Amino acid sequence: MIRRYMFLFVLFLAGLSYGETVEQLIDYAVKNSPQIKAYRYEVESVKGDIKSAEALPNPEAYVQFGRLYSQSESGFNLTEISIHQQLRLWGTRKNAVEEALLKKSAFEYMFDFYRNQIAGEVYKKFYEALYYRELLKIKEENLNIVKSFYDFVRKNYELGEETKLNLFRAEKDLKIAQLELDQVKTEFQIRLKELSGTVGREVRSVEGDLKVIKDIKDLQIDQLPEIKYLEKLKESVEKAVLVQKGLAKPQIGVELIAGEDAAELGKYEFGIGISTTLPVFYRNEGEIIKLVGTKNSILQKIKQRKLIYRSKIEGLKQKYAILRSQLKDIDSKIIPSLSDALNLGKKSFKLKVITLFELSDLRKQYIEALVYRAQLLNEIHQAYGEYIKIGGIR
């Protein structure tokens, strides 16, 4: 029994040691983020427009009562009743339904656009936190190197083989290395809090490899969510113009009429009538002009957004290529060279061929190269986050 509890406890600790992946956090954010839920409700609200478009106008009823008074008799009679039903002709109902459906489709594309925005922002915040976790490793390595220098100098100083000036310098480097490590730890926790705010729940740690880089693939501009949203919105406005043109024509209604005979009370006449409007001037001209202006405005927005997206995608591709080229150089040439120089410097210092100052300079160059490499990786991931905002996760 004790072994069983110990095993479960070990599993619990093992679970705590792993952070959350970017896929897990993006999946959670796009499903549970309050922003996403708000956008989803906007899509749902358009269903009301579809219902309104499908519905027929309610019939109108008119009822008239009269009371007869004379010297010999009096009575209460129903004198007239009519029921009027407005018809929806000229394709107004069909076009109104299609207008609402197109608007719903447009809102769904806009929902995809907002979802990509949140996914891209989570991706960027995640890799920024991962970048600071990588910096932690670099600063820990730096501290270990500095501590090994300090231990060596202090031991030789106690043996009388090292100067007090070098001991002071080694102590100073050790303190600075510890301060830098503490600062990065604080920055890492700040980035986790920012990531938590974007995701919508607490994120205690992150799990991933900063060195894993994805390729930026070509995107079809016409298929981007925002462009599709504007296209569907334009089509919706075109249908709205047809609706207004239909409403501008004579509106016909059917009427059932029943009235008491004026000459012979108590008897009723029944009839069926047809009513129509007679537009002397062109009706709904103002509404149509407004809708045509809206359509032209959307067309210009589509052109503008396409130009912006093309330039943005090309810029991301160029930036990606430059960053990856720099990363390749630093991985294949600079870091190995500085690592070899540092190892040689350690041996040379112990043999008193170089000074502690020269050795510290080699260490700084090596650590700065590692930091620069991490920065390049972070910039690559930040660029990929912008790519996700445009085209979604690929």
What is the tens place of the pLDDT at every residue in 306-351? 999 999 999 999 999 999 999 999 999 999 999 999 999 999 998 9
Residue 112 pLDDT grade (very low, low, confident, very high; cuts 50, 70, 90): very high
DSSP 366-387: HHHHHHHHHHHHHHHHHHHHHH
Distance between CA atoms of 115 and 113, rounded to whole angstroms? 5
Instruction: Note whether 50 and 93 are within 8 A (CB).
Output: no
Q: What pLDDT was estimated at residue 175?
A: 96
Question: Is 60 exceeded by the pLDDT of residue 14?
Answer: no
Exposure of 190 in the CB half-sphere (CA atoms within 13 A)? 7
Residue 17 pLDDT grade (very low, low, confident, very high; cuts 50, 70, 90): very low
Amino acid at 370: L
Distance between CA atoms of 121 and 385, rounded to whole angstroms? 7
Mean pLDDT score, 197-211:
92
Question: Is 50 exceeded by the pLDDT of residue 18?
Answer: yes
Q: What pLDDT was estimated at residue 97?
A: 84
Write out the H or E segment, with its range, that includes residue 273. strand 268-276
Closest CA to 250 of 274, 217, 267, 220: 274
Question: Is 80 exceeded by the pLDDT of residue 146?
Answer: yes
Question: Is 90 exceeded by the pLDDT of residue 86?
Answer: no
Residue 70 pLDDT grade (very low, low, confident, very high; cuts 50, 70, 90): very low
Question: Is 90 exceeded by the pLDDT of residue 246?
Answer: no
How high does pLDDT run on average in the chain? 85
- Structural domains of the chain ordered from first start: 20-391 (1.20.1600.10)
Tokens standing for residue 31: 């499903």
Quick count: other Cβ atoms within 10 Å of Cβ 176? 13
Q: What pLDDT was estimated at residue 5?
A: 41
Our CA dihedral for 132, 133, 138, 144, rounded to 10 degrees, sits at: 130
Residue 281 pLDDT grade (very low, low, confident, very high; cuts 50, 70, 90): low
Q: What pLDDT was estimated at residue 260?
A: 63
Q: What pLDDT was estimated at residue 166?
A: 92
The residue ranking higher by pLDDT, 304 or 56, is: 304
Lowest mean pLDDT among 6-10, 301-305, 351-355: 6-10
Mean pLDDT score, 132-144:
97
- pLDDT tens figures, 255-269: 777 666 655 655 667
Residue 75 pLDDT grade (very low, low, confident, very high; cuts 50, 70, 90): low
Q: What pLDDT was estimated at residue 143?
A: 97
Specify the DSSP class assigned to residue 15.
Answer: H
Q: What pLDDT was estimated at residue 202?
A: 92
Question: Is 90 exceeded by the pLDDT of residue 283?
Answer: no
Q: What pLDDT was estimated at residue 362?
A: 96
Percent of the chain with pLDDT over 70: 81
Q: What pLDDT was estimated at residue 71?
A: 47
